[in-house]
């Protein structure tokens, strides 16, 4: 099993990401389990998904208690339902694209989006929201579908991509979108968790050991997210995705 120090670090870091920017934490948990446990990729992903269900549920409850759902319950249901359909389409596309092209496409997409979001935060001309006014009903289905496709293609939770879409296209404050992101994380992770659970690929003991530190991280991350001004959180969110775009692009270029 993981040492106490490592499991505390993984839990705390994943909790911070959940509370601060609505990221499920798999990007930290999966490599941590593979390198330090060591676990197979399938077991690491299954364990990560189980942890995301717990962590994002706690973070969702905490954010919703302070800010509400962020959007109406029917709109949230529309985002989630269209995301499930999109994830199936993404999985179908996954079998027809090479890993190199997948990584390159993902890198370019989040690079463009993160630069626009940072531009909004810094007040750079030409980076304002593309659509002025409240998001129309169709946009909830469209953004949910797009995030689902990306989730199915790249194995990401999808919740933060929903927030990224609403922030870039409609200027929605990141704080308002965090409950939506966390709800999407939970529903997407639940489906994968059930699959891996039936296959015996979840290290439940490690999940349980992560939870105490993760709850501390969620509380800290949520407090910071609520304290930061809107443009400050936009900057944090945009900088995170800019880092991920560069990292993913490098991985793509290193592949044959």
The model's pLDDT over 223-234, given as tens digits with 9 standing for 90+, comes to 998 998 888 888
Measured CA distances, 30 to 101, 217, 248 (Å): 22, 18, 16
- Section 162-188 average pLDDT: 86
Decide if 11 contacts 209 (C-beta within 8 A). yes
Which of the four pLDDT bands, split at 50, 70 and 90, describes residue 237? confident
Residue 126 has pLDDT above 60, yes or no: no
In this prediction, residue 130 carries a pLDDT of 65
Q: What is the mean pLDDT of residues 187-200?
A: 83
Q: Is the per-residue pLDDT at 195 higher than 90?
A: no
Tally the domains of the chain: 1
Q: Nearest 10 degrees: CA dihedral of 153, 192, 39, 246?
A: 30
pLDDT at 22 over 90: no
Range of the domain at 81: 4-254
The rounded distance, in Å, linking the Cα atoms of 152 and 197 is: 19
**Locus of tokens 């009903």:** 137
Under the banding of pLDDT at 50, 70 and 90, the label for residue 156 is: low
């Amino acid at each position: 099993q993981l040492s106490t120090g490592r499991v505390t670090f993984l839990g705390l870091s994943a909790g911070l990401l959940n509370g601060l920017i609505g990221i499920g934490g798999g990007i930290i948990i999966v490599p941590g389990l593979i390198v330090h446990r060591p676990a197979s990729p399938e077991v690491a992903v299954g364990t990560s998904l189980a942890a995301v269900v717990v962590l994002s549920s706690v973070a969702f409850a905490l954010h919703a208690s302070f800010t509400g759902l962020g959007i109406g319950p029917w709109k949230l249901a529309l985002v989630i339902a269209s995301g499930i359909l999109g994830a199936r389409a993404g999985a179908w596309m996954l079998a027809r694209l090479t890993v190199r092209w997948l990584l390159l496409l993902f890198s370019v997409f989040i690079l463009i989006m993160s630069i626009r979001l940072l531009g909004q935060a810094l007040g750079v001309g030409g980076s304002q929201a593309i659509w002025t006014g409240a998001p129309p009903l169709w946009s909830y289905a469209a953004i949910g579908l797009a995030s689902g496709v990306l989730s199915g293609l790249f194995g990401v939770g999808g919740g933060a991509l929903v927030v990224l879409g609403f922030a870039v296209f409609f200027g929605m404050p990141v704080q308002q979108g965090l409950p939506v992101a966390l709800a999407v994380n939970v529903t997407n992770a639940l489906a994968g968790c059930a699959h891996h659970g039936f296959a015996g690929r979840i290290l439940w003991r490690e999940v349980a050991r992560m939870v105490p530190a993760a709850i501390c991280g969620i509380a800290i991350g949520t407090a910071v997210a609520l304290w930061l001004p809107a443009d400050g959180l936009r900057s944090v969110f945009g900088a995170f995705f800019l880092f991920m775009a560069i990292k993913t692009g490098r991985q793509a270029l290193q592949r044959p």
